[in-house]
Structure 1
């Protein structure tokens, strides 16, 4: 094996000093790029004619409509777009659709109580702090805040004004608490219903692991959220939401309105390569069923919980056909639980290199897919999931072998 191959296999190249250096360098570059981008903007609109915080503009506009008593209009593209333009004093900004369930209007309304810049700052800072706090709680080491703050997906997410830091905080927090405070974990999982596409495999894991209190708490939380939204907004808004799902599925996902290079799913990769919609859904379904089988096996096994948590986080991203590069903030949950297990029990061949690739891939996935049609994000996530299952099997084999040697002695 070549020197490079040996280094990738052992992970010896990834020293503590290099981790800190790479993190500080990337953090500095991305902060400088963001400051420069804002400085060169025309008020709240950037050089490309898009709002600062792009996707947040749909959240803010939906919040304004909610405060005006017209929440249902957010699901009507022309009316939502008209409000987005009004937020920017009538400027012809691009349309950013509102696709969230009605109970998420509460968050949108809170941001709309402030001027746009203040609402965006509240949105970004609160979600970032929640994400960092959960990551630090999972792995309480001095370098955790630096490495997780410098994770490239965080900056993709902030640049888009998106909510993936909230998603990672909720999922990571739920997995952190599930063994000690299962009811609280269930509440956090229930709150994840604002992004229902990421909850496909969570019930599989919870049932396989017999996590009944968590299941009960999650179900009760979702029912409560729905009930509150009915009481506050009425039933018409739910009807509008379900009607809007057709637009979301056909235009945004199936026709690639968002851009195939941005979506990091098997469905998008198949469509990017020219497959028809039926074939792409078949590919995605086969992958999702394979992931479900792996998660069910892992969560009912006696494998280390850190590996179960890591696998569920990566599988949650892989199972849905609609996952964008900014959603890869959730991959931090998969990485950090795997790292916690490795620090406690040692790392095996290629694990450190794959974890490093998973950390870096959000910086490259969109551009690589756009230039070459290679779905780098999808490939790395699948590799990480497979490696997690492999680690669980390897640990089990080592444990069985150790028991056998003790018995023979």
Structure 2
């Protein structure tokens, strides 16, 4: 038994267990299982309602209903839970369906209006296909390897995002695209960062990284983009929709986040883990804020340093997920950006102890995080993200030390 345990530890340390062939094989297996599960889910549904009484694409129903309200000139109603729920039920011919709240800034109505111009099923298909294509293109640009598209497609967060009809693909594409273009097309990168404001909780740390690295053109482009989005929404929807949005924020904060209306097991944050373990709201916020301060300080150091850009990008993608108290398991699609950048650095410079196994854990954790948290209270998604961020910082610090020693060697020899 001791011999077997030593062998397992050795394999985990070296990562030799995860050969390219195995990685492709695991991805194919998960894709096949996921495809069969989706096919069965749709086959046994009653039209657009599944066997559990939920809409196909669950959360997408709030986007579609908000779009329908906007077509009717009632966009502000989307921020009223009762009116939004009525619109969701009307989408399914008055059938009783769960309530899925609309919490996005008014400029996200542009997407809602677009998908609501089609019937529900084609709108859902268009939304997922277009955003998934953008996600894959971004991952392929970051990590141009033969297996990238396969492994990125089989990433469990992808399957969760599809099941929920959610926007994880768009978030990952905007964040990854911005990082990919930051050096070569800084203004376009800034525009993508500005567009990411549709989910402002994921952009808290981005300004810190940009300011630390003095990327003023990207900062200006992001500011102008956000200003343009706000101005267009005012011009097209009026000021009342913004009043409704701000009025709805208390409901979002108290009911959805603080009271756990979404479900503690679904949220992959330090705040949620603390609340799930019995902490009160103030203690949970204190833990989340303390983590945010640590992330901000370390990111500022990292982005001001001369370490490889891949490590900076990986750290920022991971930290963006860790910093917010409200990050769902389908949001972990953005974790693919962190994995891709870390892997790219590893392929260039070699992998160190446990790094390959950690990347594998980060890849698989969205599949088990919700169930494990619900059954045991263990926040596996949070734990793996913290580990990935810690490993990224450690690699950055040791890489910097190695570079310093290498630069000093000629002087010492002289």
Deviates more, 1:353-362 or 1:5-14: 5-14
Partner Cα distance (2:300, 2:369) in 1: 29
1:237 pairs, out of 238, 241, 262, with: 241
Which residue of structure 2 aligns with residue 203 of structure 1?
Answer: 207
CA distance in 1, matches of 2:316, 2:141: 18
Aligned-pair CA distance for 1:401: 2.2
How far off is 1:76 after superposition?
Answer: 0.4
Quote the residue 1:349 is aligned against: 353
Q: How does 1:7-406 map to 2 (within 5 A)?
A: 7-406=11-410
Which TM-score applies when normalising by structure 1?
0.99
1:407 matched to which residue of 2?
411
Deviation of residue 84 (structure 1)? 0.4
CA distance in 2, matches of 1:247, 1:380: 30
Query: Structure 2 regions of 5+ residues with no counterpart?
Result: none
In 2, distance between residues paired with 1:166 and 1:392? 28
Q: TM-score, normalised by structure 2?
A: 0.98
For residue 407 of structure 1, report the CA deviation from its aligned partner.
3.1
Distance 1:285 1:57 in 2: 32
Q: 1:406 to 1:6 in 2, by over 3 A?
A: farther
Alpha-carbon distance in 2 for matches of 1:59, 1:40? 24
- Offset at residue 2 of structure 1 (A): 1.3
Q: Which runs of 5+ in 1 are unaligned?
A: none
Cα distance in 1 for partners of 2:53, 2:400 equals 55
Q: In 2, Cα distance between the equivalents of 1:9 and 1:313?
A: 24
Partner secondary structure for residue 2 of structure 1: helix
- Taking the aligned partners of 1:147 and 1:357, their CA distance within structure 2 comes to 14
Paired residues, number: 409
* Partner Cα separation in structure 2 for residue 274 and residue 403 of structure 1: 51
